[in-house]
Amino acid sequence: MNESPAPRIRPVADPSPELRDIYKQVLSTPAGDPLNVFATLAHNPRVLKRFSLFAGMFLAKNSIPVREREVVILRVAWNCRSIYEFGQHTVIGRQCGLVDAEIADLTRKQPALNWSARDTSLIAMADELCSDNDVADVTWSRLQGEWSESELVELIMLVGSYRALAGFLNATRVERDGGVPGWPDGAEV
């Protein structure tokens, strides 16, 4: 997929007072502007508001440890070939303890690093849900040994939420925000 196609829908340039209120509740750039994803979703304030509440739960009120959450999101972003999502979560992943070698490894069909059994199960779950909309019995069994039923619900919904977001980002060609990395060297995209 082209790294910098022209946006099909440009971010809202002159937000209404309603949008400015919503923007206060979403992630922003270091300059305080809403991220391009939110400024693009802003063409439909109702969707922006409700999506922000739902998706924001995974970032702000999650029960999954942040490092593991980012392993899942980065793998979903790679599976969906969403450079925007991958770049944003490269930044967040680094803040959550992932190192660049791990982030790069998540862009390989067969990760080569010595991931823990827990991480390997999360990667398999993300791959299986992205390819088949299901989790294989062997993967499910391994996940059940590590995660509660509540956490399993959250993990599955996390994958689904970021798959939906990747589709939006890819279809509308949302541009990466300034300073956000693209694919790492050696990525299999």
Segment 7-60, tens digit of pLDDT:
999 999 999 999 988 998 887 887 888 999 999 999 999 999 999 999 989 988
The beta strands (E) that lie in 70-149 are given as none
Q: Are residues 51 and 71 in the same domain?
A: no
Q: Cα dist. 140→17, 45, 52, 156 in Å? A: 46, 37, 29, 11
Per the structure, the complete domain to which residue 91 belongs is given by: 66-172
Look at residue 43 and give its three-state secondary structure: coil
In this predicted structure, what is the pLDDT of residue 4? 65
In this predicted structure, what is the pLDDT of residue 3? 61
Q: Are residues 90 and 166 in the same domain?
A: yes
Q: Classify residue 78: in a domain, yes or no.
A: yes
In this predicted structure, what is the pLDDT of residue 84? 97
- For residue 71, pLDDT beyond 80: yes
Q: Are residues 34 and 122 in the same domain?
A: no
d(CA 100, CA 186): 12
pLDDT band at 1 (very low <50, low <70, confident <90, very high): very low
Q: Are residues 53 and 85 in the same domain?
A: no
- For residue 2, pLDDT beyond 90: no
How many CB atoms sit inside 10 A of residue 66's CB? Answer: 15
Q: How far is residue 27 CA from its own chain's centroid?
A: 13
